Structure 1
Amino acid sequence: MTEPAPADDDGFYAYIPIGPRTSPGKILRVRTIRVPQLQRVKRAWQVVYSTRTSLGEPVPASGIVITPSSKSLNSLLAYCPAFHGLGGRCAPSQLLADGSEPEAGFVSMALERGWTVGVPDGLCLGVTGLGPHHFLAGRAAAHTVLDLVRAAQDLLLLESSVTSCAFWGYGVGGRTAVWAAEQQPRYAPELHLSGVAAGAVIANLRSLLPRLDGGIWSGLGLAGLIGLSRAYAQIPLNQILNQTGQWEVQRAGSLNAATILVSYNAPLGHWCNRPDPWNDPRWYHILANETAGREFVRAPVHLYHGTEDSIVPASMGQELYAKYNSLGVDVNWHCYPASHSGAATIGAAESIDRLTD
């Protein structure tokens, strides 16, 4: 990892150097906070914990753990959030404390059903000096989920017994949820995974990037190139950038999602030396290895999607469903007559029901 930049005013999120012998999931800092958007909360903690990059390097990560005021299910739900940005104060654990988290409603639904909820911020988002966020790097995202579950189990040891975990997410969060499920047997075999719910899963980056390019979601493509370049820093992926792109990548690495979408709606070719950077041999290799649906998942999986999804095509979810079927995964599929955001809302209740059952 490169040397961290100076931390912001909140010392809790300041970078902590950790050694290779530090156990993944070890709590490095913890503090009790209030979460004004949420109801039926017993306690909430912001947590900084140890995890691993895509390449296995030790690094700190942050997240939040929330216990319900009602009788607990003795199970922890790792809620995997949507894309919040590449940097700045936009991590879910910060926004929940500020009372401005856009996905607070989904967290509330889980708390109402008795789940203890953990929300990972994602690698290099939240903890200062490590950015930009490793956006779309599946293995890194999986590690932050699995290690937050480990940290939460230690945190809750004296309060309640958490005997199993489940993963839930939508869009980018759905991608994180299935990557965490696929990595769990190898990376965290001691965890008991009881179920996965994942909507509008971004399973195949190479087919998605051309679809987003040049439209209102182009900024997601640029953010993906930035995030993956950080995750695979040993490969000179940034060589595809032109001079304008090199400048703008530095700027974009500190911006939230809304600003990125507004500021970077040009095709990727505007920032790169070629109009189709996803076909660069180095990028082709990276994107091919960032595909979900290649590993067996030990727990039941619920996949859902919207037929009118203009960001992630429903066909991508159907392909993932077929891959899991071929691997022998216990998987089901539900497609709603709705848009990307509409299916997220409509499918939430069924997802919670299935995970709880």
Structure 2
Amino acid sequence: MSDRPEPPASEVDEFFLGSQIGFDPRPGDILRRRSIEPANLEEAGRAFQLVYATRAGFSAPIPASGTVIAPATADVAGSGPILVYCASFHGLGGDCAPSHLLASGTEPEAVFISAALARGWTVAVPDGLGLGMTRLGPHQFLAGRAAAHAVLDLARAVRALPELDAADVPVVVWGYADGGRAAVWAAEQQPHYAPELDLRGVAAGAVVVDPGALVVGVDGGAWAGLALAGLIGLGRAYAHLPVAHILTHDGEQALDAASDMSLAGLLATYRDLPLGHWCERPDPWNDPIWRYVLANETCARETSLAPVHLYHGTEDTLIPVGMGRQLFAEYRALGVDLSWREYPTAHRGAAQAGAGEAIARLASYLGRRPTSRSAPQTT
């Protein structure tokens, strides 16, 4: 295996060929694993890179990758609770997968992972569908159901990892921005997709509640690369629909070039370029097919049975605080056990300001006994 958690192209081909001839791994089955030594990560003990089976947003089987790190302080590796930590958007391809960055010691959110390890928690970090593995990209950025499946199936894989004693431990999920979006979608999907998981709670900051509103808000400005990334990521997730019909020839070439870029590359290359520059209409988000896609990607579509802590910066100009307040109101109407915190700071500042309370909230959720709302279900 190379330094990246990528199987050879033939392994991806074998996975899909196997699915066609009767080999049908269950979501969460471990397909491949190896021990690693994360660099510059305090509190890390035994660690592994995994390739595991999951499902795309519309239930097609697909492999995904992720990293699992046990705390150095644990007497028995994996005996503590599992935190699935959902990193924020790092890019669409190339070397920006969290698994690669953790192995090289350049993961920008390592401080949050270390804080969880210091609690004695085993931390699992999904790369997300299409990121971290060859021939499966680009990353399905903003595709909520696909992100939820990757989160929940990695938790399943951790509980089955033979090197850890994690078969019956409880699970919590934490993320910020697009990672927060993955976290709340996992909470919404868990009751029917992974009911056997003892999901105790979720913490999510600056959640992208409505991708359509986000795209309109950033289009043509300093964050325009995110709008293009959303078009690419959701186009990949909804490839069964004719989503590419809005593109011009130059747009097709731009999407090909952007599909392997990191976040920094996207922002630098496509700054101030609106989506209309690449499309046959100035407002591609108003195309009927894209209106359907974006409407299908709003949060609060299902009720989370686990408690949810939401937080946001009041000065956030990337993901306006109104999005977070909207999600809080919608979850409250659904009867979700909620808490909410606002911080007088901008997007990046709220990630730092909210981390301590997010961990404390998750710890309090883990201290609760499982109830009929969160206990594992048996068949």
Mapped partners of 2:161, 2:2: distance in 1: 26
Say whether residues 1:138 and 2:132 are aligned partners. no
- Does the 8 Å contact 1:86/1:131 carry over to 2? yes
Corresponding residue of 1:13: 7
Which digits, 9 at most, give the CA deviation of each residue in 1:145-178, with x for residues without a partner? 0110011111156534552111100000000000
Mapped partners of 2:55, 2:306: distance in 1: 23
User: Could you say what the CA RMSD is over the residues aligned between the two structures, in angstroms?
Assistant: 1.6
How far the C-alpha of 1:242 sits from its partner, in A, is 1.1
Mapped partners of 1:325, 1:27: distance in 2: 37
Identity of aligned residues (%): 55
Mapped partners of 1:286, 1:195: distance in 2: 28
2:222 partner SS: coil
Which digits, 9 at most, give the CA deviation of each residue in 1:60-80, with x for residues without a partner? 100000000224772100000
The one-letter amino acid of 1:327's match is L
The one-letter amino acid of 2:255's match is V
Alpha-carbon spacing, 1:11–1:184, altered in 2? closer, same or farther (3 Å): closer
Corresponding residue of 2:355: 348
Say whether residues 1:163 and 2:157 are aligned partners. no
Mapped partners of 2:51, 2:90: distance in 1: 18
Corresponding residue of 1:154: 160
Corresponding residue of 1:4: none
Map 1:265-280 → 2, pairs under 5 A: 265=271, 266-280=273-287
2:245 partner SS: helix
Corresponding residue of 2:223: 217
2:179 partner SS: helix
- Does the 8 Å contact 2:5/2:100 carry over to 1? no
More deviation, 334-343/207-216: 207-216
Which digits, 9 at most, give the CA deviation of each residue in 1:188-225, with x for residues without a partner? 11101101000000011122211111111110010000
What are the ranges of 5 or more consecutive residues in structure 1 without an aligned counterpart? 1-6
1:175 to 170, 181, 205: 181
Which digits, 9 at most, give the CA deviation of each residue in 1:77-100, with x for residues without a partner? 000011111111111011100111
The alignment's TM-score, normalised by the length of structure 1, stands at 0.95
Say whether residues 1:308 and 2:308 are aligned partners. no
Corresponding residue of 2:30: 27
Which digits, 9 at most, give the CA deviation of each residue in 1:111-155, with x for residues without a partner? 011110000000010011111111110010111101100111111
Alpha-carbon spacing, 1:197–1:158, altered in 2? closer, same or farther (3 Å): closer
1:203 partner SS: coil
- Does the 8 Å contact 1:138/1:175 carry over to 2? yes
Map 1:36-55 → 2, pairs under 5 A: 36-55=39-58
The alignment's TM-score, normalised by the length of structure 2, stands at 0.90
1:13 partner SS: coil
Mapped partners of 1:345, 1:11: distance in 2: 28
Mapped partners of 1:11, 1:39: distance in 2: 21
How far the C-alpha of 1:243 sits from its partner, in A, is 1.3
Q: Give aligned pairs, total.
A: 351
Mapped partners of 1:189, 1:161: distance in 2: 15
Mapped partners of 1:158, 1:68: distance in 2: 11
Corresponding residue of 1:115: 121
What are the ranges of 5 or more consecutive residues in structure 2 without an aligned counterpart? 365-379
1:129 partner SS: coil
